[in-house]
Amino acid sequence: MNEMESILVVNNLQTSFGTEAGEVRAVDGVSFTVPKGKTIGIVGESGSGKSITSLSILRLLASNGKTKGGEVLFKGKDLLKLSEKAMREIRGNQISMIFQEPMTSLNPVYTVGQQISETIKIHKKLGNKEAMSQSVEMLKLVGIPSPEKRVKQYPHELSGGMRQRVMIAMALACDPEILIADEPTTALDVTIQAQILELIKDLQNRLGMSVIMITHDLGVVAETCDYVAVMYAGQVVEYSDVRTLFKNPKHPYTLGLLNSLPRHDVDQEKLIPIKGMVPSPHEMPVGCRFAPRCPVATELCHKKQPDLLSTGGDNSEQIRCWMYSEEWDGESEVTLYGEKRTVKG
Amino acid sequence: MAKKELLKVEGLKQYFPIKGGFLGRTVNHVKAVDDISFTIYEGETVSIVGESGCGKSTTGRAILRLEEPTDGSVVFQGTDITKIPKGEMRKFRKDLQIIFQDPYASINPRQTVASVLSEAMHIQNVLPPDQRRARIEQLLETVGLRPYQADRYPHEFSGGQRQRIGIARALSVDPKLIICDEAVSALDVSIQAQVLNLLEELQDEYGLTYLFISHDLGVVRHISDRIIVMYLGKIVEIADKNSLFENPQHPYTKALLSAIPVPDPDAVKSRIVLKGDVPSPIDPPQGCRFHTRCPFATDKCRTEEPVLRTSDIMKDTHEAACHYMEEISAGKMTPNY
């Protein structure tokens, strides 16, 4: 895992928003690595900071948002230190992004072809004609039938699934090395979601790009990702490969998510919800941010914030929980998929 | 177990007119729900599943006459509630309540929780006014909120808490049947599990019957006794939970089940990826409505509409609307992907 070439390294990223009620730290010390050609999932519930993390990487934050610290190393270059002009060379070219709402991310007054060829003209410095013919090629690549006709159509003439395909075509027009997909299938029906996920996977295999998949859906994670970072209240609480995350999850929050998920493939007696709710960003707990909802929290958890610890020999598994540290005494019992497990400190 | 019929829907149709042209005449109809029939028994949870535009929410709204159904009957405890005058319908709404999807849009932001709940009780004349306050506090405790929160406004609550207020409002008039229209879809999983557990506890405690409308098959598998699958305004399959998940017969149900991502990286996947999109309900396909996307479709499917029926290959309470389910199940048909 260590030998694998990484294309993007996010280190201790800190993003804050100025609000009327004071500063809100939406992302607080997030670190992860994107290996070349692989998919990393960022999973978390609303307000966990997963989308803000991706917007910070591309420097697309709203005007009241500011990245206060950390670094985003893309092939060794810190994106946070680049000039806006240099950043524009990378955005949409080497790193591109697709969003949740294909309806609102496309411009309704331009044809699909005009929108795809805009990217091509800017980054590849091609003329109108060539850009348009490449747009047709892109639409063909993402599986849109009769692309010659479709390039001349407006977004409202397409269905939701077709629009998301157009978004993908636009994002891939300049052969990016990283595709950030922010909840790309959340607004779509499952049968269409299956088509789009299949398409992203297929294109990744053909083009060899890396994907950052941001989602709240653990099913999508299991199916598309190689590595996963679980976020809670602005921090990464667990990072591991996808098999470990589902077979041997460690953080009590990850366990809680898996226990509260109703599944269509197996029968469950009872769901075990996580009690309480996500803390308000204005009143973050002083200790572990999950402590108020955690079934195994101790005094230590409420008092002091745990660091992101490496539990594997290398950095392949990381966890932000006192239960796995040397400070933890004795054994604790946790539940996963209805079975009890014992954790030794 | 003797089952008692609570609600019987028969031949329900809901067409929405499309106005057009110079005179604004009705030029066509959106056939949102097109001739569906089913029965709900007392104390059970029946779910309607399907993708957007299949008519599942319209069905729920038509049962309550939030939109007047075009045709068909809805018999609740022996009375056809589509035939009674509008004014009398209010009496029945005491027994038939609904919880909506969007907890932000379904509660008046200018009313306190107490006034939301007492309004419902006032309209249905549930309790004398002087006893309502105590009842409100008790209701809030029932749904997992604190009594002192009664005088707060909706914006002071989170999404999950607002959904609890919606549940409290439905419960306040002692209903028999609650229609849950995507009631947990907007919630995060950890909160969704809290609300699902609450709904189950309330059902045990008050003997409620639920009609659960959802697109999430995980939620549906967890909460339902029986499941109705809809596609483009029609019921394509209806079965008890185990039969539907273990022995689905309609090609659409099979494709739908196989399309859901499984939260297990080791799961064996044999995904049926459907071609294309759902056709328009304005001009639905002739014959079987699924034939444009079905890998098994033949000429018969293009012309002849299949009816819901049972067969030797499934339980007698399990019905599906497909001409070829026996042949497909026996492996005699070759799919054309």
Question: Residue A198: its chain B contacts at CB < 8 A?
Answer: 271, 273
Q: Using CB atoms, which residue from A247, A260, A264 is nearest to B189? A: A260
Q: Does A265 contact chain B (CB < 8 Å)? A: yes
High-pLDDT (> 70) share of chain B, %: 99
Q: Does A200 contact chain B (CB < 8 Å)? A: no
B335 in a structural domain: no
Q: Would you say residue A330 has pLDDT above 80?
A: no
A162–B277 CB contact, under 8 Å: yes
Residue pLDDT, tens place only, B129-139: 899 999 999 99
Written as six digits, the tokens of B277 are: 């999109």
At A313, the pLDDT band (50, 70, 90 cuts) reads low
DSSP conformation class of A291: G
Count CB atoms within 10 A of the CB of residue A236.
29
Residue pLDDT, tens place only, A18-67: 888 888 889 999 999 999 999 999 999 888 999 999 999 999 998 899 99
Helix (H, G, I), strand (E, B) or coil at B13: strand
At A159, the pLDDT band (50, 70, 90 cuts) reads confident
E strand or H helix that includes residue B75: strand B71-76
B243 in a structural domain: yes
Which residue on chain A is closest to B222 by alpha carbon?
A262
- pLDDT (average), residues A258-263: 92
B112 in a structural domain: no
The confidence score (pLDDT) of residue A1 equals 44
Q: Does A295 contact chain B (CB < 8 Å)? A: no
Buried b (16+ CB within 10 A) or exposed e, B166-179: bbbbbbbbebbbbb
Helix (H, G, I), strand (E, B) or coil at B251: helix
Residue pLDDT, tens place only, B259-280: 999 888 888 777 888 877 788 8
Question: Residue A246: its chain B contacts at CB < 8 A?
Answer: 263-265
B167 in a structural domain: no
Which residue on chain B is closest to A256 by alpha carbon?
B190
At B55, the pLDDT band (50, 70, 90 cuts) reads very high
Domain count of chain B? 1
- Is the model more confident about B61 or about A266? B61
Q: Using CB atoms, which residue from B188, B218, B278 is nearest to A45? A: B188
B277–A277 CB contact, under 8 Å: no
E strand or H helix that includes residue A211: strand A210-215
Residue B232 is part of a domain; what is its CATH number?
3.40.50.300
B197–A271 CB contact, under 8 Å: yes
Question: Residue B258: its chain A contacts at CB < 8 A?
Answer: 194
Which residue on chain B is closest to A216 by alpha carbon?
B188
Q: Which of B156, B164, B182, B188 to mutate to test the interface with A (most CBs of A within 10 A)?
A: B188
Which residue on chain A is closest to B195 by alpha carbon?
A273
Averaged pLDDT score across all residues of chain A: 89
- pLDDT (average), residues B146-161: 88
Dmax over Cα atoms in chain B, in whole Å?
69
Q: Half-sphere exposure of A329 toward its Cβ, with a 13 Å CA cutoff? A: 3
B233 in a structural domain: yes
- Is the model more confident about A191 or about B243? B243
Q: Using CB atoms, which residue from B51, B188, B189 is nearest to A191? A: B51
Domain locations in chain A as residue ranges: 102-173, 246-344
Q: Which domain holds residue B209?
A: 5-95+175-329
Q: Which of A265, A289, A293 to mutate to test the interface with B (most CBs of B within 10 A)?
A: A265
The confidence score (pLDDT) of residue B1 equals 52
